[in-house]
Amino acid sequence: MLPLAERQGAFAAALFDPRRPIPAGCVGPDRKPDAKRFDVYRNNVIVSLTEALLESYPAVHRILGEECFRALAPLYIRECPPSSPVLLEYGASIPDFLTRIEALESLPYLRDVARIERAWLEAYHAPEAAPLDPATLTRVLHDRPGEVCFTLHPSLRIIRSSFPALSIWRMNIAGGVPGPVDLEAGGEDVLIVRPQADVEVRNAPLGGAELLVALGRGKSLDQAAEAALVVAPSFELAEHLTVLLSAGVFVGWHRPTGEG
């Protein structure tokens, strides 16, 4: 008899590939191989994972339509079967998978809409952390503000898109109303964070994504502002900090010297 790990591997391979024969040992009451019973189990797994993808990507589902989404889901499931028993982790590679489907080339923004949805899900399940209160931030920035380094909220996600992906996402979530979108109008950067109970999705002004990425890499406020100014020469740091504070993006701070 094959070792347990090999038997489990063969079982999983057959489960996600209908071209494979049923695994050894899968028998019916008559102790004979029972392909029909295994096909029922195989189908139930595909259906369950399809429903999980529908829950994770409601806007992509709405854009593609029911029939198209359900036709693509088994292709993805067989190409990328679950690698974790935690179901909410499944589907992380859907954005890249969509770019490989030739029939979807007319929807170049779809990958970024899917990235927003994945970031929303990750933010929702991210660890809790208390945002800095305005009084603390005011005190911190009073003395040598440019030297300050910030700790960002663990739920924070930044999505940069060359398409109006945020606008398209908003049109296709619950309560949204689809309408015409000018794909040549320019891209949108998206800030996603869950400072309290609800996930907040905001448009990040030009340069804002660069600022946050730099801060996330441990850069000081001055260094992060320089990164923002490269892409947005008119970037207003004070104005943007007010927006970030209201969004609950900052949870801690320190100075490079260790002061604080």
Q: What is the pLDDT of residues 177-200, one digit of tens each?
A: 888 888 888 899 999 999 988 999
The domain boundary, picked from 107, 138, 164, lies at 107
Amino acid at site 200: E
Q: How far is the C-alpha of 147 from the C-alpha of 184, rounded, in Å?
A: 39
Residues 132/22, Cβ–Cβ less than 8 Å: no
Tokens of 26: 């899968």
Q: How far is the C-alpha of 59 from the C-alpha of 67, rounded, in Å?
A: 14
46 and 138 housed in the same domain: no
Query: Number of folded domains in the chain?
Result: 2
Element (H, E) at 72: helix 66-79
Q: Is the pLDDT of residue 260 over 60?
A: no
The domain boundary, picked from 48, 75, 107, lies at 107
Mean pLDDT score of the chain, rounded to an integer? 88
In-domain check, residue 12: yes
Q: What is the pTM of this model?
A: 0.87
3-state secondary structure of 164: coil
Q: Which of 185, 186, 237 is closest to 210 using CA atoms?
A: 237
54 and 130 housed in the same domain: no
102 and 149 housed in the same domain: no
In-domain check, residue 113: no
Q: How far is the C-alpha of 187 from the C-alpha of 164, rounded, in Å?
A: 5
Q: How far is the C-alpha of 221 from the C-alpha of 113, rounded, in Å?
A: 30
233 and 132 housed in the same domain: yes
pLDDT in tens, 194-220: 998 899 999 988 999 999 999 999 999
Residues 218/150, Cβ–Cβ less than 8 Å: no
CA distance from start to end of the chain = 63
51 and 103 housed in the same domain: yes
102 and 1 housed in the same domain: yes
142 and 255 housed in the same domain: yes
pLDDT in tens, 113-165: 999 999 999 999 999 999 988 887 778 777 777 888 999 999 999 999 999 99
Element (H, E) at 23: none
In-domain check, residue 252: yes
In-domain check, residue 118: no
Domain that holds residue 134: 126-260
188 and 98 housed in the same domain: no
In-domain check, residue 117: no
142 and 199 housed in the same domain: yes
Per-residue model confidence (pLDDT) at position 4: 63
Residues 46/77, Cβ–Cβ less than 8 Å: yes
Q: What does the DSSP assignment read for 80-95?
A: S--SSS-GGGTTTTHH
205 and 159 housed in the same domain: yes
| Residues above pLDDT 90, as percent of the chain | 57
130 and 256 housed in the same domain: yes
Give the pLDDT band (50/70/90) at residue 257.
low
Q: How far is the C-alpha of 260 from the C-alpha of 237, rounded, in Å?
A: 22
156 and 231 housed in the same domain: yes
